Chains A and B, each alone.
Chain A
Amino acid sequence: MSISPVAVLWVGAAALLLVGLYGLLVVRNLFQIIIAVQLLGKAVVLALVLAGRTSGQINLGQSLAATVIVADTIVTVIGLSFVIQIKRRMGTVDVKELATLKG
């Protein structure tokens, strides 16, 4: 049984999505949580391009992927500004410590 090159890339996109999910579940640092969200976004970009290629509309997939890249970057920038403000006000970026803060 031979696997087509596109199927390998599909498996890679799904695996990258799962890696991002693993990161979201495991890490405690807010910066690393944003890294996990970035990985999820990259998996979606790859999946969109592959979906476009599989359906014979690669340029539609590319156009949608461009929108996702812009949205993902903006989410990252806003997230980073939140993390900096949290660090300035609370003194930590550890979600476990932030969850136990009172006041």
Chain B
Amino acid sequence: MWINTLLVIAFILSGLQAFHVRRLLSAVLWLAVTSALIATTLYRAGAPEIAAMELSVGAGLVTVMFVFSIAIAGEEAMEARTLISPALAWLLIVAAAVLLALPILPIEPLETAASEVPFSTMLWEERGLDVLVQVGLIFTGVLGILGLLTEPAVERKRETAVDEKTAAKPVPGFGIPAFQPVAGRQDAGAPILEERI
């Protein structure tokens, strides 16, 4: 029981720490720590398959995705000011805690004689539709990663338009690019033009 209590305290503190650090990368690392602690808790709760999944996906893949995104977007300085005042936030949290505790306490084991089905049978046969939904979700995630990697269309169009404007146009009959002075450097292309003529 003491180990469970320590684990609970640790993942709550590390979860809170993710909102109190000033650097995004530190926040992501605290999230990874929380995920690893929850994976340990899940293992101790008798769910080793989900613990392994949580450790690999929650602490591994998601952390990598966060770090990758922060590297792309850049880490801007986080404001010390909060969206609402912390006192009001804590008041709302206490209200939510009371609302949450009222229907679930006291927690007692249900008197059910459930027939235990193996995890693989449960996942692939009894919850087959869930697996199909997961496949669809993973496909959506792949599209999301493509959206994460692609450049915005507006910027691409702008770059193409600038390239077309600055590109040299051929003079009819000669196939030699026409001289186009660079803005601010009127004499820059003159010697090249003379050489060509």
List residues of A whose CB falls within 8 A of some B CB: 3-12, 14-23, 25-29, 31-32, 34-36, 38-39, 42, 45-46, 49-50, 52-67, 69-71, 73-74, 76-78, 80-85, 87-89, 92-96
Q: Decide: A92 and B76 in contact? CB cutoff 8 A.
A: yes
What are 20 inter-chain pairs, A to B, with CB distance below 8 A?
A6-B107, A14-B97, A21-B93, A26-B82, A27-B19, A28-B83, A32-B19, A39-B18, A46-B41, A56-B112, A57-B112, A63-B119, A63-B126, A65-B50, A70-B57, A74-B138, A74-B140, A78-B147, A80-B65, A94-B79
- Which one, A16, A39, A64, A81, contacts B148 given CB within 8 A? A81
Given contacts A8-B1, A22-B89, contact A76 B65 (CB under 8 A): yes
Interface SS, B side: helix
- List, in ascending order, chain B residues with CB within 8 A of A60's CB: 117, 122, 126-127
Interface SS, A side: helix
Q: Decide: A66 and B62 in contact? CB cutoff 8 A.
A: no
- List, in ascending order, chain A residues with CB within 8 A of B123's CB: 62-63, 66
- How many residues of B sit at the interface, in one of the four size bands? 35 or more
- List, in ascending order, chain B residues with CB within 8 A of A8's CB: 1, 4-5, 8
- Which one, A28, A64, A66, A81, contacts B144 given CB within 8 A? A81
